[in-house]
Chains A and B, each alone.
Chain A
Amino acid sequence: MPAFGEQTFLRQSAEKAKDPDHRRKMNHALKQSDDAFERGKGQFADLGFARDLANAIKRDTIMRLDAYLCEFEERFIGRGGKVIWAQTAVEAVAAVKAICSRHGARTVVKSKSMVTEEIHLNKVLADEGMDVIETDLGEYIQQLAGEAPYHIVAPSLHKSKEEVAQLFVDKLDAKPGLPPEQLTRVARKVLRKKFREAEVGITGVNFLLADIGGMVLTENEGNARLSTAFPKVHIAVTGIEKMLPSVQHLGLFLPLLATHGSGQRITVYNSILTGPRREGETDGPDEMYVILLDNGRTKLLADPKARESLYCIRCGACLNACPVYKNIGGHAYGATYSGPIGSVITPHLSGMKESKHLSYASSLCGGCTEVCPVRIPLHNLLLYNRQRSVEAGYANRVEKMAFWGWKQAMLNRRLLNVGGGGVKNRFFEMFVAGIWGTDRALPVFPALNFSQQWKRRREEEQRNGNSQG
């Protein structure tokens, strides 16, 4: 999805926030996520400690990222894998395209991957005449609907079962009114053929493992396993930050990811892959590629504060916790990564000027920070982005004046007391009503302000006290 500007963002957010049907579906889906998380976190004796540990490991990893990447590369190549480095999305897409063309790929199966959304891979391959099929059920639904994912781990959470049933009627000639179980059977049948036909399987990566030169794919459906079992070529595209120093860290990170992503103790399938089929093994791809993508990540890395956002393991918990996400949904952001983490990283990846408004789309309630399994201080980073954007001179004149006025008034008690409630109400009606919107009532100032009311009450109390004494 191409990034779009502030005006579009505001318009789309307003539309979604006022759509009761959208609200009902989002509340239903996110309530289920909350309940599952509450159950799943029971597996931890001390979740806070688990998060501290995870934070410490990711911190160490990110601070030595170059060394770990080189270690990964050496081992993975040593086991017959191929590593391709890509500084930009264009380079990564070109590399995938070249591999697919070299192998005469007509059918490409994909398992869910946000990074391939980030580089807009599918369109390029489709333009080359390849049949590119998303195989994660939610992602498949989104592909049939011609939409980008709505959530980083639950791509179609905004669709009702009736909408999915209708989509399957329209696109797959399914019988009308099928329930979720039957819809899943329909998809299973279509996609099972595709896994076996495909010349190339493309996946993302949940974790890179430096010490064994491996990658981990986490899923519940089995599509990533099938995408990396049948096709003779497997291409994994990953951001450079997905690194863990050791396979042994999975004992902590897999349960942490599962609980925060879907409320499970562990996801059903975790594949640890260290290279193509080896001699003596039954089956598997002949060639395996890992594409290590920068695409702006080193920009985040260079900023000592924003750097912490690279600890992210893409569990989606901050989206589930976010009142803004819940109200405006995943598409209104106009960015590949939505929700709090998206609002934190998008301005660094695609330009502060173009995307700064995302950092303002937050109530700073801190719900995201509270839930993050690797303890990224998300709401602090949103505030930090705002600060950066103002320093860069992107704040407009009205905003600057308003804050100047606010500061003067707040620092001066006497100034704050100028004018009674009537004056303040008129001021709000003139200058604030526009920002406040028409869907909620403007606050009304009482005739006497707080300090006046306080004073009066104290005086009354004293009088009453005296008369009693």
Chain B
Amino acid sequence: METARDRVLAGIRSALKDNALHASGEVGDEREVFAKCDIGLAEGFVKAFTAIDGQVMCCDDFLQLGEKLAALLRDRQWRQVVAKSDLLERHVGQAQKDWDADDVDGLDLEAVEAGITDCEFLAARTGTVVMSTAQAAGRAFPVYTPVHIVIAQESQLVADLGEAIAGMQERYGMDFPSGMYLVSGPSRTGDIEKTLVLGVHGPVEVFVFLVKQ
């Protein structure tokens, strides 16, 4: 029996019989598509991410990161902070226990006030944090938490989305994670009279702690 698949594909093939006329729209030109950025990647990322209401904390090393993070959590008085970051565990670990106030992992997502995660890449031009389901934070956690804190190193910086995507393909090959997320700043809307409001469904605030080493 003819399936819907057969019918749709047959429809397409019959519609495209004249393809000689319209095939190929080669643009044989190598011009730059995007405006050139003549500052460094780190500086470029900070500028772009800040412009879309993200916040960047530059840190010389992980020791400083531990201090700055602890200070932020103290300052904001967040009690329920969940970290799902290998980088943090590896480099800051147990020594800085005071910022890991209460571990509510897997218990009550609703109670989480801030979530800490890793990322795959940072794309400088657009101020984009690239995440994927291959990392521990998964799908829901980083977008459900009201405050998202990203731990990253400057070695993860790339110039643009194209490079980040190519980097993901190189890293995972055919074993691409089921979800890859490009996150550019906090959640936002202009749906009511074009008034900008941050934190619609996703985080109200996004911090990137960017470590030099």
Contact = CB atoms under 8 A, between A and B. Distances in A.
A278 B177 contact: yes
A324 to B, nearest CB: 21
Interface residues of B, number: 78
Interface string A263-288: 01111111111111110011110000
Interface string A63-93: 1111001100000000100001111000100
Given A56-B27, A252-B33, A269-B183, A298 B8 contact: yes
A255 B34 contact: yes
Interface string B1-29: 00111011101111110110111111101
B178 A266 contact: no
Interface core residue of B125, B139, B141, B192 (most chain A CB under 10 Å): B192
A252 B34 CA distance: 9
B12 to A, nearest CB: 5
Contacts of A180: 192-193, 195, 197
Nearest to A79: B178
A221 B14 contact: no
A250 B180 CA distance: 13
A181 B188 CA distance: 11
B153 interface: no
Interface string A165-195: 0000000000000001101100110011001
A12 B7 CA distance: 38
Contacts of B180: 271-272, 274
Contacts of A262: 190
B11 to A, nearest CB: 4
Given A87-B4, A307-B22, A250 B165 contact: yes
Interface in B129-167: 133-134, 136-141, 143-144, 160-162, 165-166
Contacts of A196: 109
B85 interface: no
Interface string A134-167: 0111100100000000000011110111001000
A267 B8 CA distance: 32
Contacts of A251: 160-162, 165
Interface string A310-353: 00000000000000000000000000000000000000000000
Per DSSP, are chain B's interface residues mostly helix, strand or loop, or mixed?
A: loop
A360 interface: no
Contacts of B75: none
Interface in B35-68: 35-36, 48, 52
Contacts of B48: 265
Contacts of B192: 137, 141, 156, 159, 161, 164, 180, 183-184
Interface stretch (A124-132, A224-232, A399-407, A453-461): A224-232
Contact of B178 (A44, A252, A276, A307): A276
Nearest to B200: A221
B169 A42 contact: no
Interface in B180-202: 180-195, 197, 199-202
B202 A277 contact: no
A60 interface: yes
Contacts of B195: 161, 180-181
A463 interface: no
Contacts of B189: 137-138, 184, 220-221
Nearest to B196: A180
B139 A282 contact: yes
Contact of B181 (A43, A266, A271): A271
B124 to A, nearest CB: 12
A138 B184 contact: no
B139 A229 contact: yes
B197 A184 contact: yes
Contacts of A79: 176, 178
Interface string A222-265: 11011011100000000010000001101110110000001011
Interface in A29-76: 29, 32-33, 42-46, 49-50, 52-53, 55-57, 59-60, 63-66, 69-70
A208 interface: no
B31 interface: yes
Given A43-B34, A46-B32, A278-B177, A302 B201 contact: no
Contacts of A240: 8, 12
Given A45-B36, A161-B193, A254 B182 contact: yes
Contact of B200 (A55, A214, A222, A265): A222
A115 interface: no
A308 to B, nearest CB: 9
Nearest to A50: B33
Contact of A222 (B166, B178, B202): B202
B160 A87 contact: no
A44 B34 contact: yes
A269 B185 CA distance: 9
A304 B18 CA distance: 8
A135 B194 CA distance: 18
A376 interface: no
A255 B29 CA distance: 20
Contact of B16 (A63, A226, A254, A273): A63
A10 interface: no
A274 B18 CA distance: 33
B58 to A, nearest CB: 22
Given A46-B31, A229-B143, A222 B187 contact: yes
Given A56-B26, A268-B186, 16 more contacts: A43-B126, A59-B25, A63-B22, A137-B191, A137-B192, A159-B193, A181-B197, A221-B202, A229-B138, A250-B165, A254-B161, A266-B128, A268-B184, A271-B182, A274-B177, A274-B180
21 contacts: A33-B194, A43-B35, A49-B29, A50-B33, A56-B27, A57-B25, A59-B24, A85-B3, A87-B11, A135-B201, A180-B197, A222-B187, A266-B161, A270-B181, A271-B180, A273-B179, A282-B138, A282-B141, A302-B14, A304-B21, A304-B22
